[in-house]
Amino acid sequence: MRKFEGTLAELAQNKNKNIHPLLQKAHQDALRSQHEELRMQLEEYDALVEGKRDVLERLSLTDLPRALIQARIAMGLSQKELAHRLGLKEQQIQRYEANEYRLPILND
């Protein structure tokens, strides 16, 4: 977060005359968007860890993968600990979560 904030402040102060203003604004807007997304993710993570958020408030099956990730976090389990409990490798849990438990589509 601090790096995003520092970069944004730096961009606001140092107007590079070699870069078109619209391109500079697009760069700043993209960084602001990423900064906001990261801030929201960190708030959600903190709320889960502190028990301030109900993991099962989502009832849709499409939200189930995200709820599984949130439940792991709320339980205080690392990906490594979950993998151990399930008899899997940590990298497999990382892949599952990175893809939100989507299964690969197999071609015939």
* Predicted local confidence at residue 93, as pLDDT: 94
pTM attached to this predicted model: 0.56
* Predicted local confidence at residue 61, as pLDDT: 78
Q: What is the mean pLDDT of each run of 10 residues along the chain (108 residues)?
A: 81 72 82 87 84 67 85 91 95 92 64
Residue type, 33: S
Residue 60 near residue 66, CB atoms below 8 Å: no
